[in-house]
Amino acid sequence: MLSKLTPQAFAPLEALFKRGRFKEEFNIELKLGGSHLCHVKVFTGRPPYYGPWAEVFNLSPSFVGSSWELHVYCVLHRYMEPGDTLFVEYIEDRETFNALCRGVPLEETRLGRVLVQCGFCIVKDWTSPRAGWKAG
């Protein structure tokens, strides 16, 4: 469950946890050797109205495609329950972005394969490349 996520879960990465805008939200900055890798925003849910979710964003280009990317998604998967949602920004992932623009299904892209490898079963592209906003 996402509420049980701790900085130690991401070891050996440095995980800086900060309070969010409200009690069910917290923010994480992940670093390696002092260098920024990405941010993660976690919402632990507000039953029965809102389910838990996490969003990985502000990815460093050096993070995309690295073993640390796989590590972060797999850590998040271990703390997520069925029905929780993971959102991933892929603007720095040109390979995935270009494949999606060509109409390749997300699960067949570089990012989709990484997510499936970590145990995520359903992957969707909720971003409209032409409009540049989340559709869901």
| Per-residue pLDDT reduced to its tens digit, 8-27 | 999 999 999 999 999 999 99
Structural domain boundaries enclosing 33: 2-122
Residue 127 lies in a domain: no
Looking at the 3D structure of the chain, how many domains does it have?
Answer: 1
DSSP 48-86: TTB--EEEEES--TTTTTSHHHHHHHHHHHHH--TT-EE
Judge whether residue 82 has pLDDT over 50: yes
pLDDT tens track for 94-123? 999 999 999 998 889 999 999 999 999 877
> Is the pLDDT at 7 greater than 50, yes or no?
yes
Q: Is 8 among the domain residues?
A: yes
Which CATH number does the domain housing residue 23 bear?
3.40.630.30
Q: For the CA atoms of 37, 30, 58, 19, what is the dihedral angle to 10 degrees?
A: -170
Quickly state the pLDDT bin for 124 (edges 50, 70, 90): confident
